[in-house]
Amino acid sequence: MIEVKNLSKVFKYKDKKNQMAEKTAVDNLSLDIKAGEIFGLLGPNGSGKTTTIRMLTMLLKPTTGEIFYDGRHVDIDDKDVREVKQMFGIVPQNLNFDMDLTVRENMELHGRLYHMNRKDREERISELLKYVGVEEVINDKVRNLSGGMKRRVLIARALMHNPRILFMDEPTVALDPQVRRRIWELIRQLANKGTTVLITTHYIEEAEELCDRVAIVNHGKLLDIDTPQGFISRLGRYVVEWTEGTHKEFKLFNCREEAGQYLTQLDAPGGIRKSNLEDVFIEMTGRKEGL
């Protein structure tokens, strides 16, 4: 479905000495995402996740590298790039509604931009708002909605034109746990119906819960790709965690017996627990998400 070969993005800027310098945001990234897959792109802030999505959605031209959809090479300068973009639904990190319009009006505008006829627009708006559970606010101005409802409407709007691929950049940021889990269920339903979903998230447990596979990136480079459980199995299923000064430290082990032996040798208070994808993330990147 999506194939990325040696993708790089270099930004030029003026440094403190007012001299031209370069920053590599994405560095020789290669990915292969399957149709109907929920694929997670994880990395610390500044690791190149959003830049990667902007290149994949034809909003930003790569410095080098190639992007293929269904085996077809695509480029932001292609004459038929609009045809390719028809495949995309995009849920951005920041809310980009017209806040003075109602939910219906925002959805209607999106449908018109994709040249949907009136009958299809009306049917799709009704269907999608019911699907995400916000049909009762159809005539409310978006600015008056709660954060959770705005996020649900954002997803509904991205689905207006039946996209084959859904890009979701931090779709549940700043939402309470109940709303987040509701959105998780929506994402699963979309994938079950054949939609390919590429998601970036600050919540590592979200990726562990949702994603078929995840790619971990750092400083613009791909570190590795695997299933969440595949990562956990390879790096260690058990964690010895202890406090050292004001900081918590941990070490991964393949079996509980090894973890227990290590714990008995510690001079600091600690314990053993099962590992998770966040432990893998910290082990591979050296940083907690958001730091």
- The residue-averaged pLDDT of 23-47 equals 96
Q: Do residues 261 and 189 share a domain?
A: no
Q: Is residue 290 part of a domain?
A: no
In this prediction the pTM is 0.91
Same domain for 252 and 149, yes or no, is: no
Give the pLDDT score at 174. 74
Give the model's pLDDT for residue 286: 83
**What count of other Cβ atoms lies within 10 Å of the Cβ of residue 207?**
25
Q: Is the domain of 159 the same as that of 245?
A: no
Predicted confidence (pLDDT) at residue 239 exceeds the cutoff of 80: yes
261 and 151 fall within a common domain: no
Q: Are residues 178 and 278 part of one domain?
A: no
At residue 291, does pLDDT exceed 50? no
Q: Are residues 262 and 155 in the same domain?
A: no
DSSP string, 67-94: EEETTEEE-TT-TTHHHHHTTEEEE-SS
Residue 287 confidence (pLDDT): 57
pLDDT given for residue 268 in this prediction: 87
Percentage of residues of the chain with pLDDT beyond 90: 81
> Mean per-residue pLDDT for 81-93?
92
Q: Is residue 77 part of a domain?
A: yes
Q: Is 186 helix (H, G, I), strand (E, B) or coil?
A: helix
4, burial (CB in 10 Å: exposed 0-12, middle 13-18, buried 19+): buried
pLDDT value at 284 more than 90: yes
Cα separations in angstroms, 268 against 47, 154, 238, 243, 255: 34, 48, 18, 6, 21
Instruction: Identify the domain containing residue 50 by its residue range.
Output: 2-227
Q: What confidence tier does 237 reach under pLDDT thresholds 50, 70, 90?
A: very high
Q: Which of 190, 205, 227 is the last residue of a domain?
A: 227
In a domain, 187, yes or no: yes
Same domain, 135 and 154: yes
Residues 244 and 211 placed together within one structural domain of the fold? no
Note whether 262 and 147 are same-domain residues.
no
Is residue 291 one of the residues assigned to a domain?
no
Q: Give me the mean pLDDT over the 169-177 stretch.
A: 85
At residue 289, does pLDDT exceed 60? no
Binned at pLDDT 50, 70 and 90, residue 288 comes out as: low
Q: Assess whether 96 and 152 both reside in one domain.
A: yes
165 and 184 in a single domain? The answer is yes
Q: Answer whether residue 290 shows pLDDT above 60.
A: no
Domain count, the chain: 2
Digit-coded pLDDT (tens) for 178-211: 888 888 998 999 999 999 999 999 899 999 999 9
Q: Is residue 140 domain-shared with residue 245, that is, in the same domain? A: no
The CATH number linked to 58 is 3.40.50.300
Give the helix, strand, coil percentages of the chain, each rounded to 5: 35, 30, 35
